[in-house]
Every structure is written in C-alpha cells, then in structure tokens.
C-alpha cells in the first residue's frame, strides 16, 4: 500500500508541474491589465496583452481536474504510455456526466430535496477529486487490460484498444457507487475543512506542520488537494490565482499558502547555514556543496526536497522540529496579515508574480518575517545539532568518508555509474523512474544495496521504503542523472 501511495504522490507532480507557467502568465497578465481582476474596460495594447495572458493561464487553472485525470493516468501507468491518458480522459468525462447534479436528481428525485446532497453533487462534477479518481481508474484499467487477447471476431478490440471500453464500464460502476458514497465523503471532508477554517490561524499552522511532516511519504499531496483545490469547497490556491479576494470566500484567502514563504525563502537558508557552521572542519566543503545549493533552490523556486532529505533520516527529531517551525511561522504569518500565493511553490518567483493579485496583502512583511525565520531556523538548528550531537551533513562519523563526489560537478554519467554500482549493478535493478528530485528504483535483492557507495555520488540521501524499492535523492538535476542511468542499464 505504501509503495502505491508513494507512486501516487509522485504521479501527481506531473499535472501539478503544469501550474507554474499558469502562475507566471496570470501574474504578468494581472500586472499589465488590472481591469481583468478589478473590472472595467480592456483598452490599449498593454491591457490587451495582459488580458490575453490571464486567459491563457486560466485555461489550465480553471481545468485542473482535466490535468489530474490525464497526467495521473500516465504517471500511474506501468510504462507511461499515452493510451493510459486517453483512458483517464474517458473516465473523467464519463463520471462528470453521470455525477452532474441534473443527471443525479433526475434519476433520484429525492436528492433534490436534500440541500446538502445537492451541494455535494454540485461540487463533485469537475473537481480535483474526480480528476484524480479518473486518473487512477484509467491507469488501473490500462495496466490490467493493455495486453488482453480477445477471440478472432473481436480481435480489433484486443490489446490497448479495449482499455477505453473497459475504463468506461469501470467508470459507470464507480459513478453508481459514488451516488451513494459521495454525500458521506463530502460531509466528512466538509467537517474537516470547517474544523480547520474555524480554527483560523491555528488551523493554518496545523496544516503547514502536517504538510511538512508528510513529505517523507509523499502523502502531502493528498493533504494539499483538500486545501489548495476545490475538493471540499476551499480552493485556496485556485481561487487566489483566479483573482478572488477574501470577500468572495469564507476564509482569509491565501492563509494556507502564505506561511510557506518565510520558511522556504529564508528559513531554509538559515537552517542550511547552521548545518554548515556545525559541520566538521574537514567536511565543511561537503556540507556547503550539499545544503547551500539546496537552500538557493528553495529560495528561488520553493523546491525544498533536496534540503529536507539531506538531514531528515540523519536526524529525524530535527526534521519534526523543522516541520513544527513551519506551523509556528504560518500561525504568525496569518495573524500579521501577510498574504502571498504560489502556483508551484513558495519561492521568490511565485512571490513576485502573486504580489499583483487582489488577494495579496502586506507583501513587504516578507522582509521582517524572512529575517525572523532565518534567525529562528538558524538558532534552533544550531542548538539542536550541537546539543544532541545530530549527524547532519558534514557531521557523520569518521567511518563515513565516501561522500567526496559533489553533485555540482555535473558529471552525470559518473554519478549514475556510482549509484548503479551501489545498487548492486544493472542485474539487480528491475525498473528506473524519477520525479522532480528523486531517482526511484525497483530492485531484486536488497542485501546488495550499499548506501555508503550511493552517497559517494554526492546525493542528498537514500530512502528504502520496502525491500524492493530504493529512492535516491538527487535534487533538481535528477532528470539528467536518470537519463544517464538508463543508458548504463
């Protein structure tokens, strides 16, 4: 189950990766054409261009469920084949039509008499939940039936041609089940969302803490979908970039994103500096090469995994406190009124482009908040590392001296070769895949894996979720390493 959920989390990154360009386009568009979000006529070349950019970005933001259906189906398919994306789309269209409020109330008139159930079905058609479910159904049908052989008189529908047909049938069954189950699920999710919303700043802090705490399992994506997208009627991210304000919703718009900015942009560099300062003198260069580049990446674009995986398994207690700091700063940020939004993650790029959106507020507070975050993260990390003698990068025992190849050398072939040797050679590797920062591999014999050898490539860490799964934390250059790894295979 954990392996499946981790694959799900990784696959969700494929459609989510489409969002940064939307944010950039809409951020530029709103800056060039304020009337797009404030009302009024669109006149003049600059305003026309801005209006065009806003509509271009909104074309994807407004149809994220489609992206989830198609992208997730491809990501979950065994061979990432395009037929799976068609299956995901078939499933989405089928369920969207069958679960539409008009369809459901026609087939079951009593539902129309229950306001809560009507609202539930108003929310289900076209939301992210249906997109994700459609992607899972499409990929499952593809994986199971892609090699199906039928009798000669039905041979035309054999193999991949039957996938869409089977997917349609499975989606009809899923829709019938959801007619009865969805109102119950919706009620639970609404209660969860209402509980968080009713807790205001405290609830936002709890969410941020859980978001970071779930990073090692990849399950934070499921939590994000509850609060960022319109799964239960919140949609903090989608509505923020749609030009809405807090007056249009029942919560302070942006409160489930704003607290990440001071932590990712300034807190992580502060923590990285503490790790460097507490490293052993003879190993300080290793710590610098490992965490400094990760901190820069977090500051610019909000990609935090290279930094987090550099210490979370070396010092798990420190990682729990790290997650707690996110909760604390989110709580403080919400109270102070700073509001920023991101289309991808809480880095400088998204902050700049979100600053012109109507829901953005007190953005200059990022300076004092950032300074505070940098100081607090630095002090907490330095005190905990030294007081508890935590084995963060550069503080490993002397016996661990093989991390002498820094990834920044860009010799991706050499890095891939070292990782492959550490995995027991190509005979021990059965599959190779990657996400934004991780090389994900399936192996035959876990006893052949040499983690010290793998770390000699300068990678940020090694995760072993099961006896047949290994994840190597490479960083943002993972695609280049994966390409060379596949060549060696």
Residue 405 tokens, joined: 């190849």
Helix (H) / strand (E) element for 166: namely helix 163-198
List the structure tokens of 313: 């398994």
Question: Which amino acids are annotated catalytic?
Answer: 435
Sheet with 429-434: strands ordered across? 429-434, 438-443, 469-473, 461-466
Residue 400 has a pLDDT of 34
**101-115, 221-235, 364-378: which range is least confident on average?**
221-235
Give the architecture-level CATH label for domain 407-488: 2-Layer Sandwich (3.30)
* Structural domain boundaries in the chain: 2-199, 200-401, 407-488
Comparison of pLDDT for 175 and 217, the residue scoring more? 175
pLDDT mean over 442-451: 87
Q: Do the beta carbons of residue 338 and residue 366 sit within 8 Å? A: yes
pLDDT at position 406, please?
45
Q: How confident is the model at residue 410 (pLDDT cuts 50, 70, 90)?
A: low
pTM of the model: 0.54
pLDDT tens readout for residues 39-97: 567 778 888 888 888 788 778 777 878 888 888 888 888 777 788 889 999 999 999 88
411: helix, strand or coil: coil
User: What's the confidence (pLDDT) of residue 403?
Assistant: 34
Q: Once rounded to an integer, what is the mean pLDDT over residues 422-447?
A: 84
């Amino acid at each position: 189950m954990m392996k499946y959920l981790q694959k799900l989390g990784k696959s969700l990154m494929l459609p989510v990766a489409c969002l940064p360009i939307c944010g950039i386009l809409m951020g530029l568009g709103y800056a060039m054409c304020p009337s797009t979000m404030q009302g009024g006529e669109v006149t003049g070349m600059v305003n026309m261009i801005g209006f065009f950019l806003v509509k271009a970005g909104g074309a994807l933001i407004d149809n994220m469920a489609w992206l989830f259906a198609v992208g997730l189906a491809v990501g979950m398919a065994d061979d990432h084949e395009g037929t799976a994306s068609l299956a995901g789309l078939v499933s989405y269209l089928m369920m969207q039509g069958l679960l539409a409020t008009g369809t459901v109330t026609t087939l079951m008139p009593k539902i129309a008499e229950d306001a809560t159930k009507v609202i539930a079905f108003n929310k289900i058609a076209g939301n992210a939940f249906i997109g994700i479910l459609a992607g899972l159904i499409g990929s499952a049908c593809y994986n199971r039936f892609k090699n199906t052989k039928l009798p000669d008189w039905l041979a035309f529908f054999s193999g991949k041609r039957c996938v869409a047909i089977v997917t349609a049938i499975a989606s009809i069954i899923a829709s019938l089940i959801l007619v009865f189950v969805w109102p119950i699920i919706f009620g639970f999710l609404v209660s969860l969302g209402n509980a968080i919303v009713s807790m205001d700043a405290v609830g936002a802090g709890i969410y941020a803490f859980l978001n970071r705490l779930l990073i090692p399992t990849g399950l934070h994506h499921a939590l994000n979908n509850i609060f960022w997208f319109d799964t239960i009627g919140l949609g903090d991210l989608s509505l923020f970039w749609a030009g809405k304000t807090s007056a249009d919703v029942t919560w302070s718009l942006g409160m489930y994103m704003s607290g990440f900015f001071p932590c990712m942009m300034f807190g992580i560099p502060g923590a990285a500096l503490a790790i460097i300062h507490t490293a052993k003198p003879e190993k300080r260069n290793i710590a610098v090469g490992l965490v400094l580049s990760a901190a820069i990446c977090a500051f610019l674009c909000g990609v935090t995994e290279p930094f987090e995986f550099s210490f979370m398994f070396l010092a798990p207690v420190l990682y729990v406190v790290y997650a707690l700091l996110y909760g604390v700063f989110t709580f403080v940020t919400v109270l102070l009124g700073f509001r920023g939004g991101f289309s991808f993650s809480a880095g400088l790029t998204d902050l700049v482009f979100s600053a012109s959106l109507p829901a953005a507020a007190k953005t200059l507070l990022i300076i004092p908040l950032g300074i505070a975050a940098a100081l607090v993260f630095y002090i907490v990390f330095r005190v905990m590392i030294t007081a508890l003698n935590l084995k963060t990068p550069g503080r490993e025992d002397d016996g661990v001296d093989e991390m002498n190849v820094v990834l920044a050398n860009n010799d991706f072939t050499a890095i891939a070769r070292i990782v492959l040797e550490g995995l027991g050679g190509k005979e021990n590797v059965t599959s190779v895949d990657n996400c934004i920062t991780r090389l994900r591999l399936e192996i035959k014999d876990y006893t052949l894996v040499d983690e010290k050898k793998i770390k000699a490539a300068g990678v940020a860490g090694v995760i072993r979720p099961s006896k047949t799964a290994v994840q190597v934390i490479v960083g943002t250059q993972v695609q280049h390493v994966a390409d060379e790894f596949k060549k060696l295979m």
